[in-house]
Structure 1
Amino acid sequence: MEERKKETRRRGEVLEEAILRAAWEELAEKDYAHLTMESVATRAGTNKAVLYRRWDNKSELVMAALRRHLPKITNEVPDTGSLRGDVYAFLHARVEPMRTINVQAIRGLMMDPRVWRTIAAFMPQIFQKRPENKLMAIMMSIMKNAELRGEISLEKLSPRIIALPLDLLQCEIITKQEPVSDTAITEIVDDIFMPLIHASQQQ
């Protein structure tokens, strides 16, 4: 009886928020394969029927939870005072939201195309190569700021070199299927990108 009264008090947005929070917490604690509608319902203090009235299956529920709780990525252009610092900060901001999900969950999510597309949407256009790509626009702003500081001459840099940090980040995400580490970002910037920049400037 008490449970029924509790359920009656939570309706609409309040109940939906409780369910989405429960799904997010389940995802943080276990892999995607072991997350079930029943486990989410139990954590939310409701029953499976309530979940199925709102979402047809687990993937739809998880996508809704990701949209609600996955941290948003800022599109601000970093301004650390150096090209190296700006590129590092830019790459770090791209992957920080994924660190809120455990590794096994990420691997399971990547096996479900519908859910992975939702995750990718929080890394705006990271998998696109078009000139109007927002991330490439930010990279160009970073490079132009470096040129204004006298660090580089843009005319000596090819589009491929400018896009390289994003290409390597994409490769890291797809091949490792886990949050990209600070060490990996440092290697992309310090061991690959910056040496290429310095070499190009000496030509």
Structure 2
Amino acid sequence: MSSGSRQDSGQAAATRRRGAALEEAILGAAVGILLESGVPGLTMDEVARRAGTNKNAVYRRWPNRVALGVAAYRRLADERTAPPDTGALRTDALELLRLANRTWSSPLGEILRGLLAAAGGTPGLLAELRDPDGGPTAHDTAWLTVIERAVARGEAPPGARHPRVAALPSALLRNEYVLRGEPAVPDPVLVEIVDEVFLPLVRGRGNPGDIC
């Protein structure tokens, strides 16, 4: 069999994939393009070519390249977010904020900034960047995990286990990016967020005398 025939046969086999297998191939192709070329390089044609399928199959699952880019970014972000376990709430919180700060100024952060710019003012896409399924992101889950560990150690009252409490440090960090217009926040600001806002809020979620 000639090399051309083998290639055609392989492409036909790839095209016959259905369901989850095809979706995984498309997402994998999109992730690869984002890592290599960023958001500008993400096109439906290139995704279809790399996934070994046709462009219509891609469009049936994602209406445009930005929606696909959001799904691929979330795959990347979820893979890289793991809750630290330093043995203390303060150092766990600082490590999570520092991780987020490093990520924002990394190639992954550049992808996120590109997607935010490409999404423009589209509320649906902006919401998907954070929470497409109505549940917490991996980053939100990491914050809840460090709070739950702190509760188990007796560092925090049970009332601290609340999604709004867990989301606050990241929200403050995002606000710093907006105000500064820079892809990194000085470390003393991260310390201030933890020491002056997050920890007092956590401790205030219990009854007086719950935490010394």
TM-score range, shorter chain: 0.5 to 0.7
- Quote the Cα distance in structure 1 between the aligned partners of 2:73 and 2:181: 17
1:88 and 2:94 aligned:
yes
Compare relative contact order (CA 8 Å, sep 6+) and give the higher one, 1 or 2: 1
Q: TM-score, normalised by structure 1?
A: 0.59
CA contact (8 A) 1:87 1:142 kept: no
Runs of 5+ in structure 2 lacking a partner? 157-165, 201-212
* Structure 1 residues 35-72: Cα deviation after superposition (integer angstroms, max 9, x where no partner): 21112223334442332343332123223334544325
1:107 and 2:113 aligned:
yes
Among 158, 172, 176, the residue aligned to 1:172: 176
Q: Which amino acid aligns with 2:131?
A: A
Evaluate the alpha carbon distance shift between residue 176 and residue 65 of structure 1 in structure 2; reply closer, same or farther with a 3 A threshold. farther
* Structure 1 residues 65-118: Cα deviation after superposition (integer angstroms, max 9, x where no partner): 3454432545x6x55244531221343465677677544432221121444322
Runs of 5+ in structure 1 lacking a partner? 126-132, 153-161, 199-203
1:116 and 2:95 aligned:
no
* Structure 1 residues 3-28: Cα deviation after superposition (integer angstroms, max 9, x where no partner): 43112322113333222111111112
CA contact (8 A) 2:73 2:111 kept: no
Output the aligned Cα RMSD.
4.6
CA contact (8 A) 2:73 2:112 kept: no
Matched residue pairs, number? 179
Q: Which residue of 1 aligns with 2:188?
A: 187
Q: Which amino acid aligns with 1:23?
A: A
Q: Which amino acid aligns with 2:189?
A: I
CA contact (8 A) 1:30 1:104 kept: no
Q: TM-score, normalised by structure 2?
A: 0.57
- Quote the Cα distance in structure 2 between the aligned partners of 1:121 and 1:67: 9
Matched-pair identity in %: 30
